Structure 1
Amino acid sequence: MLQSFDDGIWIAEGPIAVVAGFRYPTRMAVIRLSDGTLFIWSPVGLSNELRAAVDGLGPVRHIVAPNSLHHLFIGDWQAAYPGAKLYAPPGLRKRRQDLVFDGDLDDDPAPIWSGEIDQVVVRGNAITAEVVFFHRTSRTAIFTDLIQHFEPGWFTGWRALVARLDLMTAPEPTVPRKFRGAFTNRAAARAALRWILAWPVEKVLMAHAAPVETGGHAFIARSFAWLLT
């Protein structure tokens, strides 16, 4: 359920999420900070097994929704861990007025994790603003929906055709066409991408693609070459 990804960072696969008939696998990340507390990125469905595994790593103190689309389970986690702080990306407070957020995510990391996790908001996209994180110890960049990949056969029927046209089943993970077309402010997006490319990235985690464990910096540059040119 909970798998070690690198020093101080774990991942867990969650249940399938269905959006407009499209099936999406879900993945979360857990980062243990130097004070022993846990940073939960894009939490998936909270089962008893997953909760026991997470509790075995340390106390949950920070729950992060990385964009306005990845919020399905944050309420369950907030209820399970009332001592944790819940952080909202741009646009999510309005969408989830049923929740009480303790902070907002922007380009400046919260002081508690600023020495260990960097972040930048990729703005200018009409679908969602996504907060991309960088775990310094493992040199891991963490994307949510901006980079995706699904194996051939994951989608069937007309959805398989849509996925192919959208580059969701391209030879390697890349930015889907729907997200490319939704960048109404490419200057803002380029500025964020230059920030990301300044990080010494070796690995890349994504919510909807297999992790990239080597050559992460070059991989990100390839994925966004269409934006940089």
Structure 2
Amino acid sequence: MLKPFGREIWTADGPDVVAMLGFHYPTRTAVIRLSDGDLFIWSPVALTNDLRAAVDALGTVRYLIAPNSLHHVFIADWKRAYPDARTCAAPGLQEKRKDIVFDAVLDSARIADWSEEIEHVLMPNGITSEVVFFHRESGTVIFTDLIQQFPARWFSGWRAIVAKWDLMLGPEPSVPRKFRMAFTNRRAARASLERILEWPAEKVLMAHGTPVTENGQAFIKRAFGWLMA
């Protein structure tokens, strides 16, 4: 259920979710245990009894993170299960999910509660502004949708053609073409990327794709080489 990914960080894969036009996307969450035992839940997936038991065995759920305006489907279920947890959302999600009262909007400002252990940077994008995180203890950078990769036969028919055009089926995770085109403010995007590249990344995790377990900073440079050019 929970798989260790590094020091004080675990992942769990949830069920596939149907998005627009019938595209199926896998789901993944990351659980980070802070030094005080509190848990930081990134992009919550469907909360099953087994997952809840595994999470509770690690510590106290304190933060529920919606890292962009697309990854929010299950956060209300987690809030009901953990009413004392703080919900934190990327810009734009509060307007979309008026049924949830978010405790904080994640811009590029530091969050005192976890800033010594987890840093974050906002990457504005026309599709969805995404908050990218760095967990110092494990050396892990966490993207959500800005970097993706699917198995070659994940999609079929015309969807496979679209996915190939969108650079979602490459040999390693990359930035989909639609997101590249949606970085209309390239200067702001480069500034965010420069901050990300300052992190001593060893690993890279994303919601949809094969995690990178070594040479993380070099991988990020390759993935965003088109933006740096």
TM-score, scaled to structure 2: 0.98
2:68 aligns with 67
Matched, 1:4 2:11: no
Sequence identity percentage: 63
Q: Does the 8 Å contact 2:40/2:61 carry over to 1? A: yes
Matched, 1:220 2:212: no
Matches within 5 A, 1:74-85: 74-85=75-86
Gaps of 5+ in 1: none
How much is the aligned-residue C-alpha RMSD, in angstroms?
0.6
1:106, CA displacement in angstroms? 1.5
1:207, CA displacement in angstroms? 0.3
1:108, CA displacement in angstroms? 2.3
Q: Does the 8 Å contact 2:186/2:227 carry over to 1? A: yes
1:180 aligns with 180
Q: Does the 8 Å contact 1:13/1:44 carry over to 2? A: yes
Matched, 1:14 2:31: no
1:87 aligns with 88
Matched, 1:132 2:122: no
Distance 1:82 1:130 in 2: 25
1:147, CA displacement in angstroms? 0.2
1:208 aligns with 208
Question: How many pairs are equivalent?
Answer: 228
Matched, 1:35 2:49: no
Gaps of 5+ in 2: none
Distance 1:88 1:28 in 2: 15
Q: Does the 8 Å contact 2:68/2:144 carry over to 1? A: yes
Equivalent residue of 2:211, what SS?
strand
Structure 1 residue ranges, 4+ long, deviating more than 6 angstroms after superposition: none
1:115, CA displacement in angstroms? 0.4
1:6, CA displacement in angstroms? 0.8
Deviation readout 1:38-95 (Å, 9 max, x if unpaired): 0000000000000000000011000000000000000000000001000011000000
Q: Does the 8 Å contact 1:109/1:117 carry over to 2? A: no
